[in-house]
Amino acid sequence: MARWQPDAPGRLAAAALDLFEENGYENTTVIEIAERAGLTKSTFFRHFPDKREVLFDKGTVTGLLVDGIASAPPTAGPLDAVADALDALGRTFFAEDRREFSGRRQAVLNANTELREREALKRIDLTASMIEALNRRGVPGLTARVAATLGTLAWEIAFDQWIGSDNSEGFGPLARRALDAVRAAGAEC
Amino acid sequence: MARWQPDAPGRLAAAALDLFEENGYENTTVIEIAERAGLTKSTFFRHFPDKREVLFDKGTVTGLLVDGIASAPPTAGPLDAVADALDALGRTFFAEDRREFSGRRQAVLNANTELREREALKRIDLTASMIEALNRRGVPGLTARVAATLGTLAWEIAFDQWIGSDNSEGFGPLARRALDAVRAAGAEC
DNA sequence: AGGGTCGATGAGACCAAGTCCCATCACTGG
DNA sequence: CCAGTGATGGGACTTGGTCTCATCGACCCT
């Protein structure tokens, strides 16, 4: 078996996504994933702590969001800072070339409860990171919690639109509009 | 081994909570749980789909919340309906005699990522149920989403206070206050 | 060129979660 | 007293995940 080919984690992730699409998550074995990537079970678990994690990137999104919140203008309110961060995310991570992949990945996630569960945990941890970032801007506890929660909701809405529409206008603008809509809906509660 | 003792699921859940407190979730085996309850592994998995689920009740909370939202006065706004539902929950489920148990259980959940993950999924499913219930009241999509999300946040805040304080004033009032605070924080975003 | 070091991989034993099938027991009604 | 039914026990089996050790490949240094 040929060793030393580059980017083992990337090959494993690609193989996993393919197999999950073909046969479903539950009907796919870690050994099968590893074999398709030209590797072994041992190596799979050396790169990913468990089978689910192969579909999740390691904190780069969180980092981008936290940085985006931190670097928003000091005059910006909590939700404005979140909007800036989502916009930054749209420029760097949720770029057009990643849209098809994101859609495929999300379809796989939606099809399996175990994966949805992992996604739910990631979402909570992400929200917690946003709260911390807002706290560091001086936003008081509860306000930060509300802003981060609404920001996560806007993210979710914008993401669904982004992977759904064809002639898309990019994640950033969609997120801004979603956040405005959420803000408006919150006002009339 | 004595068979036919009553309430196998309850005995399993109690044994599990005890063992998780003593040795931690990861260091506890399903077989150990079953043995302490006077049962076997087979019976455990007959009552619970997996090891995590032994700490989660089967949808009664969701039912209570959905009913509470449905039976709120027609004039009540979305967040008011949610407040009524949380109040109903405080009267029927989060009663004083369940407080100590809830605290123990929550401590175990917080100590383990796998359990936090399951909790995160439950929270999302609960929020989805609340959204549906609000939709059935005529609350439009996005507004319902925001209201349910803020309601879940208020729940979380109130629950932490409820299991934390000693001379507690009950879950219902705490939830109402939390919801008001969340509403106020949302206004200044 | 050759030997040594080091990080990444392979191989396989091992444990626990979860599934499945079948035997067995206890309670119920006739 | 006996047949039926539902809950339990028992054990084989698959898979996820951990661990340890051997091995390989690249790079470095002389």
pLDDT digits (tens, 9 = 90+) for B68-125: 999 999 999 999 999 999 999 999 999 999 999 999 999 999 999 999 999 999 999 9
**Same domain membership, residue A61 and residue A49:** no
- Classify residue A3 as left (phi > 0), alpha (psi -120 to 50) or beta: beta
Residues counted in chain B: 189
Is B120 within 8 Å of chain A by CB? yes
Placement of tokens 């979380």 in the chain:
B156
**Same domain membership, residue A39 and residue A61:** no
**Same domain membership, residue B118 and residue B72:** yes
Closest to A118 (Cβ–Cβ): which among B117, B145, B185?
A: B117
Q: What are phi and psi of A72, to 5 degrees?
A: -70, 150
Q: Residue A2 pLDDT > 60, yes or no? A: no
Arithmetic mean of pLDDT, A89-94 = 96
End-to-end CA distance of chain A: 61
**Same domain membership, residue B63 and residue B151:** yes
Instruction: Give B147 to chain A, closest Cα distance, Å.
Output: 7
Placement of tokens 């040795």 in the chain:
B23
Residue A119 sits in a domain whose CATH number is: 1.10.357.10
Find the range with the poorest average confidence among A46-50, A52-56, A129-133, B1-5.
Answer: B1-5
Is the separation of the CB atoms in A150 and A186 below 8 Å?
yes
Q: Which of residues 72-91 of B touch A (CB under 8 A)?
A: 77-79
Query: Is residue B117 domain-resident?
Result: yes
What local confidence, expressed as pLDDT, does residue A165 receive?
81
Arithmetic mean of pLDDT, B127-137 = 98
At A181, is the secondary structure helix, strand, or coil?
A: helix
What local confidence, expressed as pLDDT, does residue A168 receive?
74
Query: Is residue B1 domain-resident?
Result: no
Torsion of CA B94, B99, B105, B111, to 10 degrees: 110
Q: Average per-residue pLDDT in chain B?
A: 95
**A101 — pLDDT class (breaks 50, 70, 90):** very high
Query: Is residue A90 domain-resident?
Result: yes
**Same domain membership, residue B173 and residue B141:** yes
Q: Residue A1 pLDDT > 50, yes or no? A: no
End-to-end CA distance of chain B: 61
With both helix axes pointing from N to C terminus, report the angle between B141-164 and B78-92 in degrees, rounded to the nearest 10: 30
**B1 — pLDDT class (breaks 50, 70, 90):** very low
Query: Is residue B111 domain-resident?
Result: yes
Placement of tokens 């929550």 in the chain:
B106
Tell me, what DSSP letter sits at residue B138?
A: T
**Same domain membership, residue A65 and residue A149:** yes
Is B185 within 8 Å of chain A by CB? yes
**Same domain membership, residue B101 and residue B133:** yes
What local confidence, expressed as pLDDT, does residue B2 receive?
42
H/E element, B87: helix B78-92
Of the two residues B189 and A39, the one the predictor is more confident about is: A39
Query: Is residue B130 domain-resident?
Result: yes
The angle subtended at Cα B130 by Cα B126 and Cα B131, nearest 5°, is 115
**Same domain membership, residue A134 and residue A61:** yes
**Same domain membership, residue A66 and residue A27:** no
On chain A, the residues whose CB falls within 8 A of the CB of B143 are: 185, 188-189
Instruction: Give A3 to chain B, closest Cα distance, Å.
Output: 34
Chain mean position to CA B135: 22
Arithmetic mean of pLDDT, A152-156 = 98
Query: Is residue A121 domain-resident?
Result: yes
What local confidence, expressed as pLDDT, does residue A170 receive?
94
Question: Which amino acid, residue A27?
Answer: N
Cα separation, A65 vs A157, whole angstroms? 16
Residue A75, token pair as written in the block: 């005059």
**Same domain membership, residue A120 and residue A42:** no
Query: Is residue A2 domain-resident?
Result: no
B165-182 confidence digits (pLDDT tens): 877 789 999 999 999 999
Query: Is residue B2 domain-resident?
Result: no
Is A120 within 8 Å of chain B by CB? yes
What local confidence, expressed as pLDDT, does residue B165 receive?
80
Total domains in the fold of chain A = 2
Residue B7, token pair as written in the block: 């309430």
A111-147 confidence digits (pLDDT tens): 999 999 999 999 999 999 999 999 999 999 999 999 9
Q: Do A189 and B79 touch (CB under 8 A)?
A: yes
CB atoms within 10 A of CB B92: 13
Domain holding A34, by residue range, is 8-54
Q: Residue A166 pLDDT > 80, yes or no? A: no
What local confidence, expressed as pLDDT, does residue B5 receive?
86
**Same domain membership, residue A129 and residue A173:** yes
Query: For the residues of A158-175, what is the DSSP string, one character each?
Result: HHHHHHH-SS---HHHHH
**A188 — pLDDT class (breaks 50, 70, 90):** confident
Long-range contacts of B23-27 (CB under 8 A, 24+ apart): B24/B111, B24/B112, B25/B108, B25/B111, B25/B112, B25/B114, B25/B115, B26/B112, B26/B114
**Same domain membership, residue A142 and residue A63:** yes
Residue A21 sits in a domain whose CATH number is: 1.10.10.60
